[in-house]
Structure 1
């Protein structure tokens, strides 16, 4: 999940949990909102972790050179 998608889930969950006052039979919109907020938060943490993990620092210096020959 991308960071933008996670933030979108958090925003959508906050809208459902705090701003919507509609009453749908069989669906608790506040609970759905909180579930989306938690899911978006988990996705955000995972996305940030994976983004920081991708940064590989390579030490300059030694290079391996492989020479190929056509034959003996």
Structure 2
């Protein structure tokens, strides 16, 4: 949802900045368009930052059997940080 919202804001901002030639007494539509484009870019960057995985995981499962026939399951979850 965040990336779509960011693209939507960029498109609306570009239309207001480059496509609309109307003038209003109290508002500068070109500046509002640039602000919307900047906000859309910020939304996209923040969404990507939140959605990016901060760690990678390596998972492994080992099943061992002792001399009496009992089985033990060992699960290992290693995290590789700094990626």
TM over 0.5: yes
Q: How many Å apart are 1:50 and its aligned residue?
A: 1.4
Q: Which runs of 4+ in 1 moved over 6 A?
A: none
**Structure with higher strand content:** 2
RCO (CA 8 Å, sep 6+): is it higher in 1 or 2? 1
Which TM-score applies when normalising by structure 2?
A: 0.66
Gap runs ≥5 in structure 2: 61-73, 77-83
Paired with 1:12 and 1:31, the residues of 2 have a C-alpha distance of 12
**Structure with higher helix content:** 1
Asked which structure has the greater CA Rg, the reply is: 2
Gap runs ≥5 in structure 1: 65-72
**Aligned residue in 1 for 2:9:** 9
Corresponding pairs, count: 63
**Aligned residue in 2 for 1:60:** 59
